[in-house]
Amino acid sequence: MTNNQITNQDVQHLAKLVSLPLTDDRLNKLVDQITTTFEYINTLQAIDTDSTQETNQVTGLENIMREDVVEESRMLSQNQALQNAKHTHNGYFLVPAILE
Amino acid sequence: MLLDLSLQKLLAGYRDNSIDPVEVIREAYHNIENHSQELNTLITVRDQAETLAYLKTLNKTLPLYGLPYVLKDSYATTELRTTSASKILDDYLSLYDATVHRKLKDAGAILIAKGNQDAWGHGASTENSDYGMGKNPWDPTRVVGGSSGGPAAAVITRMCAFAIGEDTGGSIRNPAAWNNISGLRVTYGRVSRYGCISYASSMDTVGPFAKSVEDLALVLSVIAGVDKYDATTSPKPVDDYLASLATSPVKLRIGIAPEMFADRLDSEIATNTKDFADKLASLGHELVDISLPVAKMSLATYYILAPSETSSNLGRYDGIRYGGTRALFTQESMRRIMMGSYELSSGYYDAYYRKALKIRTLLLQTFQDAFSKCDVILLPENPVMPPLLGDLIGDPLANMLADLYNTPVSLVGSPSLVIPSGFHKNGLPIGVQLVGPKFSESLLLALGHQYQQNTAWHTRSPQL
């Protein structure tokens, strides 16, 4: 769709993929905003990059390793790990059911 | 006001007992009480009695002893909640400290508040906050800038001695200029991001805000360096940034690209930036023409890479281990997440994400060519003056364009120093960017310090 209009269905599909609930009002606004933004971004297609390599990062560093050891001072207790969870049960995180 | 003094003067006063750090901290709280709520500067403030009790426990010989500071609310802290300005993390209390916070604490500085920002770093105005739109202390009908707007405003209103922001696509530089303070985007990898809530990991950097370049140098000397918890930090030795200020740089070649003064730049900002160049010339530096036709393509590239990276980084906010549900993301954040997911998706990856990675290579080459002809590049900071509250948040393209001169630097990983350079006829401050090759912080700070020794723009603060 690099040259096509983005549709309501496209945005609804995207919202589902990234697990974002959309109101109708927000959906309509987002369709317009995403279309405008892509119009700007699509100007890049005019730049020739056929013979250009990709740059994935700019640190100049490679293969930064550390010893694979447990740092006990940074370990969380079970209570600490659960401290910020909204829903817990018997010392576990409670997650939404994914099967009907 | 005691908080008008430089960090070194405050510290010297603490050492010879001519200044009481308690008075300085009280002054900061006084300014917080008078202005923070009205301007939406801070999200969470530490209890004053707790701060003063903590001060008593500190060793007076520590390098930043007793200096009160504000962190952008994107940094994990065990003392105060960390919201990233989103209701998703409204009650999130971190179990560990970000490295930058740990280093400042170990140096004797005291966290007194967490600053407002655009949620998750998504914005250039601090309008995209669930804790109220950040207002500009110079004109509260206008935006404060962003995304690190709160910490920047906290420095100019003297709610703290210095602050820490975070810059991905201009989030330190833009509010530094719009608040009349000094701000530094560091070389990618110079300061650890451990404990900083990620926006776009290939460009996120941690850097200081302060009243002067001299103060920036002192803070940077504490926070820079390799961190075993952030594998992108550089093992390069950290310079003695304060010492580098002692010798004024001689006859630097200052690169100026005509393309960066084109159509979208406010004419007064353009004139101001040229006046700044003339001032550098009068200090003995040489102005050289360079070619840097990269602003528009950088912005487009940034708006592929940053949403792509944030769509991945924000995938972890599922409301299970911590935080509220994804329905609490703002429209601005939802748009960025969805666009990023689209740009990374099968069928569009080559056209968008891979294309952006290739353009990043072209940008690196262009900057490399430019730095073969000059030592430092002078750029305008913001293309426009701070818009009225509400104007940017409703217009994604205008919001993007605020970072027109910022994103090229972000994409190549260079450091950029923003310093105040004068005032617009509307009474609001203007700043410029000095950009150098990677790890040239010492050079940029020395040049900025030289300018501030010869001008007084940076000493002005708003009538509140």
The domain locations on chain B are: 2-459
Is residue A2 over pLDDT 70?
A: no
Provide the pLDDT for residue A1: 44
Identify the H or E element spanning B26: helix B21-39
Provide the pLDDT for residue A45: 95
Which residue carries 């993929």 as its tokens? A17
> How many C-beta atoms lie closer than 10 Å to residue A63's C-beta?
5
Query: Chain A closest CA to B196's CA: distance in Å?
Result: 17
Q: Are B59 and B49 in contact (CB under 8 A)?
A: no
Looking only at the bridges linking them, the beta strands covering B68-72 and B110-115 are parallel
- Which residues fall within 8 angstroms of residue B94, CB to CB, at 6 or more apart? B76, B77, B78, B82, B195
Provide the pLDDT for residue B398: 87
Looking at residue B17, what DSSP letter applies? Answer: T
Query: Chain A closest CA to B39's CA: distance in Å?
Result: 28
Minimum CA–CA partner of B299 in chain A: A41
> Per residue in B310-363, pLDDT tens?
999 999 999 999 999 999 999 999 999 999 999 999 889 999 999 999 999 999
> Per residue in B410-445, pLDDT tens?
999 999 999 999 999 999 999 999 999 999 999 999
Region of A73 (left: φ > 0; alpha: ψ -120 to 50; beta: rest) is alpha
Minimum CA–CA partner of A83 in chain B: B322
Told to judge if B56 belongs to the known catalytic residues of this protein, a careful annotator would answer: no
* CATH T-level assignment (fold) for domain B2-459: Amidase signature (AS) enzymes (3.90.1300)
Q: Are B74 and B89 in contact (CB under 8 A)?
A: no
Q: Report pTM.
A: 0.97
Is residue A3 over pLDDT 80?
A: no
> How many C-beta atoms lie closer than 10 Å to residue B322's C-beta?
22
Report the complex ipTM. Answer: 0.95
> Per residue in A15-44, pLDDT tens?
999 999 999 999 999 999 999 999 999 999
Name the nearest CA neighbour of B299 among B406, B146, B441, B423: B406
Work out the angle at residue B180's Cα, subtended by the Cα atoms of residues B179 and B185, and round it to the nearest 5 degrees: 85
> Per residue in B89-123, pLDDT tens?
999 999 999 999 999 999 999 999 999 999 999 99
Average model confidence (pLDDT) across chain B? 97
Record the tokens describing residue B111, joined without a space: 């966290």
Told to judge if B72 belongs to the known catalytic residues of this protein, a careful annotator would answer: yes
Query: Chain B closest CA to A99's CA: distance in Å?
Result: 17
> Which among A14, A44, A74 has CB closest to B342?
A14
Region of B120 (left: φ > 0; alpha: ψ -120 to 50; beta: rest) is left
Alpha helices in chain A (DSSP H): 8-17, 24-41, 78-82
Q: Are B73 and B42 in contact (CB under 8 A)?
A: no
Largest CA distance in chain A: 58
Provide the pLDDT for residue B282: 98
Looking at residue B126, what DSSP letter applies? Answer: S
Angle between helices B295-313 and B355-373 (to 10 degrees): 130
Q: How confident is the model at residue B284 (pLDDT cuts 50, 70, 90)?
A: very high
Average pLDDT over residues B200-207: 98
Told to judge if B60 belongs to the known catalytic residues of this protein, a careful annotator would answer: no
B380 phi/psi in degrees, rounded to 5: -60, 160
Minimum CA–CA partner of A49 in chain B: B358
> Per residue in B296-314, pLDDT tens?
999 999 999 999 999 999 9
| CA gap B273, B271 in Å, rounded | 5
Please report, to the nearest 10 degrees, the dihedral formed by the alpha carbons of residues B419, B423, B429, B430 taken in order: -50
Is residue B395 over pLDDT 60?
A: yes
Q: How confident is the model at residue A4 (pLDDT cuts 50, 70, 90)?
A: low
